[in-house]
Amino acid sequence: MDAGQRLTDDNFPEHPEKATLEGKNKFLGFWLFLGGETVLFATLFGTYLGLRHMNMDGPSTEELFKLPTVFLATMLLLTSSLTSVYAVLALKQNRVRTLQKWFIITLILGLAFLGLEVYEFMEYVHEGHTFTSSAFGSAFYTLVGFHGGHVAFGCLWIITLLARNWNRGITLVNAPKYYLFALYWHFVDVVWVFIFTVVYLMGKVG
Amino acid sequence: MSTHASHKKRSGLMDWLTTVDHKKIGILYLIAGGFFFIIGGLEAMFMRIQLFKPENDFVAAETFNQLLTMHGTTMIFFAAMPLIFAFMNAVVPLQIGARDVAFPFVNSLGFWLFFFGGVLLNLSWLLGGAPDAGWTAYAPLSTTSEGSGVDFYVLGLQISGAGTLIGGINFLVTIINMRAPGMTFMRMPLFTWTAFVTSGLILFAFPPLTIGLFMLMFERVFDANFFNPDNGGNILIWEHIFWIFGHPEVYILILPSFGAISEVVATFSRKRLFGYSAMVFATVLIGFLGFMVWVHHMFTVGLGPVANSIFAVATMAIAVPTGVKIFNWLFTMWGGRIVFSTAMLWAVGFIPTFVMGGVTGVMLAIPSADYQFHDSYFVVAHFHYVIVGGVILGLFAGLYYWYPRMFNRVLNETLGKIHFWTFFIGFHLTFFPQHFLGLMGMPRRVFTYLSGQDLDQLNFISTIGAFLMAIGTIVLFINVIISTSKKYAPSSDPWHGRTLEWAIPYPTPEYNFAQTPLVRGLDAFWIEKAAGNKGMTPAEPVGDIHMPNPSILPLIISAGLFVAAFGLIYDTMTVVVIGMAITFICMFLRSVIDDHGFHIHKEEVEEDLKGVKL
């Protein structure tokens, strides 16, 4: 069978994302890539923990962070992870329109999260907490900014993926791509859970 | 929809620029790595000429700083790393019976990223001065270094580091997913095993370097304060991050050499490798321990006796699996019918040399003693014994061994032996005296010394040795040039090989294996030969073979980053945007253009099989 062909309910494999060797390779390669990403963020977290009290003349974490905004951002991102799970469920049931619907909701939630983050950063800059104001500032914006950059990249990724495959149904070529995007999105979400805990909660009570 | 485009034949230069064939990418890595090896070698020669007598004025102090920085950076990242990737590309898919790596496009991208990173770094010589903060780029030396040298260092390593990371992931997936039927993990040749562990180390060691380089770049370009104590920063963060990457990096370099030595020693002793499973276990253990010893580079920083002791013990523990390997090589030779080919000479020369580097390594692992050795020529002697005496000798063994497979030519054995003896004697002459120079108090990274301190004679000897090494390298290049003559076409299976890469006809077909081989045990090809078979037993009938299409995109993606790097170095945001746009547009094109490759038809494969002479 041709891997680029639209799958029907009759020939739909149990794991369309791993039904070809290319799919298997991408699946494994992406998991390994996420392993490397974990070390990347671990390095950023380590640096942040070492420098988070070095706010010099600028505001400290207790004065700076506003938990309601951050909590809202967290909820948006956690929900977007859930909607991407629904999209993957639709993938496994060969329901492409449902998949598109859930991924679009995921995208909207991701964009809303980014909007909140930009707003939050602008507030901080007003209060004198900038990238160059202190070592805390550099470490904070680098860690949280790297995460934000990952969310932004994810948004571009899913837009490209949806647009390119809008009328193509689910095939053995695009099934691994949808699946890997969802994997990436969960990873970005998990990193945020750590940022919420280590940066914001520990910043308030630490 | 996915019509299989007919076979696109590209010729000459375009073929090499667009290739996704692991065999050709291996050759590209070898040529580019060899080129940077020459540049790094010249930098070393200039330093040795400067140091051959006291108060010499061959180069200025500032130039010397640039030379020592560029020598270290070039040799580690742009000579040793690509040479390792050259052999991994040329050999690993063949050893596991695969037709290519898991991601041929990514493989090509990895090469071009490395290449453009190396070119970027070396252009600094022509554009206002090379980096001068040492290959370790310690803050605040690197953050306050004048000029744009360190910016070239940061961006050159960033670009090539990305290439290395994706290369590592590619080989992990290839080795896990693409092994031929019957090729279980414990039947994999040792070189493949070391490539596997090295790729794992790359995966977990390079991201910290990526982040460290980002921080250094942010510090220099955007005035961040990570390493600026005046604004709450901490210079030790750089040292930790650099060595969390840097120590695994030296195991990334040495393990594939261990693998090459294991293949060469077994083949030329006409015996199977002694203690195969112990060798595998030792490889994995070295890889694992490699991540928990980084503080031994920082004993004199003052982290306290507890931290120093823990890392000292962990460091010494690495001597155990390494010792296991040394003894297994010796036991492999024991009672074997040893053939002293050039490859075997390198392997035999490697063993005592590497042991000497290991012994000084254990000496350096003792924190109290390290306070004496630190930043002296003793350290310089130690790491050249393990990196030249270990990595490079192993790579030369691999070069003479796999050259017929890569180029369909053998290297001349007489010239090879001249290369070995001049290089080997030259190496010891250069670096053995440096142990004593260090113990006598000569600090590393100084551009000159005074007479009357008993340093003259040993430095003079060291420089003589460096010239011998240079002569040896020239002999190698002569050898490579004359090997292009038809006279040096290899006979079938020139070394009586044991592993799958020797079961393929010359020249290696584009698809490697006409039929995927069935592997029946360790030393798969040897087993078949011992059973009286001419070749491998196929695991499948002859059929159409699916191949990936060549692509120019990897080169353009890398070139985009190269352009963006210049924008960052010269603070021109438009250029950064243009460069990044080139890269992202190419990534977008890769994403939206369906590329299903092509098929080599069954008839063509059958035609090839008729002409096969094993």
**Which of B102, B211, B591 is nearest residue A40 as measured by Cβ atoms?**
B211
Residue B9 confidence (pLDDT): 65
For each of the domains in chain A, give its residue range(s) and CATH number, in order of start. Answer: 16-48+67-205 (1.20.120.80)
- Contact state of B210 with A40 under an 8 Å Cβ cutoff: yes
Residue B1 confidence (pLDDT): 34
For residue B203, give how far its alpha carbon lies from the nearest alpha carbon of chain A (Å).
Answer: 5
**Which of A29, A43, A50 is nearest residue B211 as measured by Cβ atoms?**
A43
Residue B486 confidence (pLDDT): 78
Summarize the confidence of residues B514-540 as an average pLDDT: 93
- A201/B277 Cα distance (integer angstroms): 48
Q: Determine if the pTM surpasses 0.90.
A: yes
**Which of B103, B232, B240 is nearest residue A29 as measured by Cβ atoms?**
B103
For residue A45, give how far its alpha carbon lies from the nearest alpha carbon of chain B (Å).
Answer: 11
Summarize the confidence of residues B65-94 as an average pLDDT: 97
Q: Please report which confidence band the pLDDT of residue B373 belongs to, taking 50, 70 and 90 as the band edges.
A: very high
> Do B268 and B341 contact (CB within 8 A), yes or no?
yes
- Which chain B residues are closer than 8 Å to A51 by Cβ? 226, 232-234, 237
Q: Please report which confidence band the pLDDT of residue B4 belongs to, taking 50, 70 and 90 as the band edges.
A: very low
Summarize the confidence of residues B55-83 as an average pLDDT: 97
Cα–chain-centroid distance for residue B344?
20
pLDDT at B327 over 60: yes
Chain B's closest residue to A4, CA to CA, is B2
**Which of A4, A37, A43 is nearest residue B241 as measured by Cβ atoms?**
A43
The tens digit of pLDDT for each residue in B272-284 reads: 999 999 999 999 9
- Which chain B residues are closer than 8 Å to A191 by Cβ? none
- Contact state of A47 with B206 under an 8 Å Cβ cutoff: no
* Least confident segment among A174-178, B453-457, B482-486: B482-486
- Complex-level ipTM: 0.95
Summarize the confidence of residues B92-101 as an average pLDDT: 96
Residue B438 confidence (pLDDT): 97
- Which chain A residues are closer than 8 Å to B240 by Cβ? 46
* B494 CB burial (10 A radius; 0-12, 13-18, 19+): middle
Q: Please report which confidence band the pLDDT of residue B488 belongs to, taking 50, 70 and 90 as the band edges.
A: confident
In angstroms, the Cα distances linking B281 to B194, B361, B489, B594 are 11, 21, 38, 42
Summarize the confidence of residues B120-134 as an average pLDDT: 95
Summarize the confidence of residues B566-575 as an average pLDDT: 94
Best residue in A40, A61, A178 for a mutation probing chain B (most B CBs within 10 Å): A40
Q: A149 — contact with chain B (CB < 8 Å)?
A: no
The mean predicted confidence, pLDDT, of chain B is: 94
Q: Please report which confidence band the pLDDT of residue B7 belongs to, taking 50, 70 and 90 as the band edges.
A: low
Instruction: Take residue B284 and report the two structure tokens written for it.
Output: 């994995």
For residue A22, give how far its alpha carbon lies from the nearest alpha carbon of chain B (Å).
Answer: 8
Chain A's closest residue to B173, CA to CA, is A29
Summarize the confidence of residues B293-321 as an average pLDDT: 96
- Contact state of B237 with A50 under an 8 Å Cβ cutoff: yes
Q: Please report which confidence band the pLDDT of residue B433 belongs to, taking 50, 70 and 90 as the band edges.
A: very high
Residue B5 confidence (pLDDT): 45
Instruction: Take residue B423 and report the two structure tokens written for it.
Output: 């290089």
For residue A89, give how far its alpha carbon lies from the nearest alpha carbon of chain B (Å).
Answer: 24
Best residue in B225, B230, B540, B588 for a mutation probing chain A (most A CBs within 10 Å): B225
The tens digit of pLDDT for each residue in B353-369 reads: 999 999 999 999 999 99
- A198/B194 Cα distance (integer angstroms): 37
In this structure, chain A runs to a length of 206
For residue A25, give how far its alpha carbon lies from the nearest alpha carbon of chain B (Å).
Answer: 6
Q: A1 — contact with chain B (CB < 8 Å)?
A: no
DSSP track, B436-467 = HHHHTTPBTT-S---TTSS-HHHHHHHHHHHH
> Do B488 and B410 contact (CB within 8 A), yes or no?
yes
Which value, in Å, is the radius of gyration of the alpha carbons in chain B? Answer: 24
Q: A4 — contact with chain B (CB < 8 Å)?
A: yes
Q: Please report which confidence band the pLDDT of residue B168 belongs to, taking 50, 70 and 90 as the band edges.
A: very high
Terminal-residue alpha carbon distance, chain B: 40
**Which of A21, A25, A138 is nearest residue B224 as measured by Cβ atoms?**
A138
Residue A1 confidence (pLDDT): 52
Residue B132 confidence (pLDDT): 95
Q: Domain B21-551+595-610, CATH 1.20.210.10 — does that match?
A: yes
**Which of A2, A25, A55 is nearest residue B102 as measured by Cβ atoms?**
A25
Q: A138 — contact with chain B (CB < 8 Å)?
A: yes
Q: H-type helices in chain A, by residue range?
A: 21-51, 61-64, 67-92, 96-126, 135-164, 174-195, 202-205
Residue B529 exposure: Cα atoms within 13 Å on the Cβ side:
15
How many Cβ pairs closer than 8 A exist between chain A and B? 120
Angle (CA) B344-B285-B348 rounded to 5° is 15
Terminal-residue alpha carbon distance, chain A: 59
Instruction: Take residue B247 and report the two structure tokens written for it.
Output: 């120590």
Summarize the confidence of residues B302-328 as an average pLDDT: 96
Instruction: Take residue B564 and report the two structure tokens written for it.
Output: 């963006």
Is omega for the bond preceding B140 within 30 degrees of 0, making it cis? yes
Residue B2 confidence (pLDDT): 38
For residue A9, give how far its alpha carbon lies from the nearest alpha carbon of chain B (Å).
Answer: 20
Q: A56 — contact with chain B (CB < 8 Å)?
A: yes
| Residue B432 identity | F
Q: Which residues of chain A have pLDDT under 70?
A: 1, 206
> Do B546 and B178 contact (CB within 8 A), yes or no?
no
How many Cβ atoms are within 10 Å of A11's Cβ, its own excluded?
A: 10
